[in-house]
Chains A and B, each alone.
Chain A
């Protein structure tokens, strides 16, 4: 029963994802613009730990795709609220936890699909060396990262009433997390105050872990990144479930 409800919500997310092609195109285009414009623009003048700038940036861009689409998927509950469909979901004889998990898994799946597409393209263009092992661990990181940020999106959406505050989330949460994550620059030797924010940013560990498995360079050991990311993930899941439980 509960499993069927989770599956049902997951299925709905996938159907909606497939039908909202403009949204997918938007998120993917953003990733490619970063790679193509910022990447190639800086390629000639920047070289980081022996790799070209586009290569350095590629794992970060994959993580960015995951984070943006995950937060968006989580916050999409606000649109369900706006269009009234959330009431239909909440009045069903299904526990809040199942609803939250269904939403989270659905959102994570669609985000991972987008992340994989970007990863596929950067690998195909040779920005990232191809290795089965690397890509497998990368997938694991993508799963953990997406669940983290979908839960974060769900938690935020539970506390908001309408989608008008979405821009605020983008400006004050998503963009800073993205810029602090080290997707654009190595985080070693940053000033201490900045380093503090970098170290509490879940995306930092996703990017670093991703760079470690795809390129073999990293700031932290892979195990540490994976561990910290998992802790973030479980914490966000718990917070998301707790907040979601209180929606009326």
Chain B
């Protein structure tokens, strides 16, 4: 059953198209990723689905409610962690959570129990009564995730949840996100421009560019769509190897003294290839899995990382650096 159903979503800012007739649906309990460079329209989609932004053309449903006509019903059933910090630094962690719970109309008993529960989940119990201004960037992020869970949301939006965090903290956040799905069965929509993050966390990924979804599938299928894995081997007699190995590869290419084979499943093909090669001499053999970056390259002709940081994201990075310290 789809908990989010988007049909031909369109958003223009003064005639500039940010999201161009996008359609997709997300199943209950899924971790769904929106992957793409800055300015692809990821945050715009999240803002529209969270009813913060009114779309130009709207036919989108979240939790069965319409984003344009039933925003308050949607707000009650979603949680959101914004890209930029959104905590009150002059309040303690507990007060921030309590504020949130009260705004969402939770009773006092429920509030207390849930605050303990989410604090434990993100391991912040010890710091519950410290002012947020004393927290590190990672701790703030964890607190924001905990806050997003306070009111038992069915859908949790995470907008660039690990932006500006160090690799170690990033792994901790990933752990929490995976736990969310296991423990609460929450549907998670996350945006990111980190390949590894999308690959590791998401059940399905929509790759976005210029306001359009250019590919949508499981990470595995997206990578398989490129024709499988690569096996590169070096040997003395390349021609002889080539004739022997032809039948294992969907595509075989020869350059210098190496052979590059495209295979469906490198792990399973490797032993067969080794057997077929038999006594012929091989100097080296290398197995390579395609990455989502390769997928993005395949569809757009450029790499996500090549994207120059635009003015806005530079400003944002500076701001994050200042605020997260």
A residues within 8 Å of B by Cβ?
Answer: 1, 4-5, 7-8, 11-12, 15-16, 19-20, 83-85, 87-95, 248
Contacts and interface: CB of A to CB of B under 8 A. Distances in A.
B100 A4 contact: no
B323 to A, nearest CB: 8
Given A91-B50, A91-B75, A92-B100, 20 more contacts: A1-B105, A5-B103, A5-B105, A7-B102, A8-B102, A12-B88, A12-B91, A16-B91, A19-B90, A83-B88, A83-B89, A84-B82, A84-B86, A87-B86, A88-B87, A88-B100, A88-B147, A92-B104, A93-B75, A248-B52
Nearest to A94: B103
24 contacts: A5-B102, A5-B105, A8-B102, A11-B102, A12-B88, A12-B91, A20-B90, A83-B85, A83-B88, A83-B89, A83-B323, A85-B87, A87-B52, A87-B84, A88-B82, A88-B100, A89-B103, A91-B50, A91-B51, A91-B75, A93-B72, A93-B75, A93-B103, A95-B72
A85 B103 contact: no
Contacts of A93: 72-73, 75-76, 103-105
Task: Report, nearest first, the 9 A-B pairs whose CB atoms are least far apart.
Answer: A84-B86, A93-B75, A8-B102, A92-B103, A93-B76, A88-B86, A1-B105, A93-B72, A85-B88
B82 A87 contact: yes
Nearest to A86: B86
B80 interface: yes
Interface string B49-79: 0111100000000000000000011011000
A5 B99 CA distance: 9
Contacts of B82: 84, 87-88
B95 interface: yes
Interface centre among A84, A87, A88, A248 (most CB of B within 10 A): A88
Nearest to B73: A93
Contact of B102 (A4, A20, A90): A4
A72 B111 CA distance: 32
B99 to A, nearest CB: 6
Contact of A91 (B80, B84, B88): B80
A167 to B, nearest CB: 21
Interface in B76-127: 76, 80, 82, 84-91, 95, 99-100, 102-105
A85 B143 CA distance: 13
A205 to B, nearest CB: 34
Nearest to A84: B86
A93 B89 CA distance: 22
A16 B84 CA distance: 21
Contacts of A90: 52
Contact of B103 (A8, A16, A83): A8
Contacts of A95: 72
Contacts of B90: 15-16, 19-20
Interface in B273-300: none
B91 A15 contact: yes
A12 B76 CA distance: 21
A5 B106 CA distance: 10
A91 B52 contact: yes
A76 B102 CA distance: 21
Contacts of A16: 88, 90-91
Contacts of A19: 90
Contacts of B53: 248
A83 to B, nearest CB: 7
A11 B90 CA distance: 13
Contacts of A15: 90-91, 95
Contacts of B86: 83-85, 87-88
A92 B104 CA distance: 6
A11 B88 CA distance: 13
B101 to A, nearest CB: 9
A89 B100 CA distance: 8
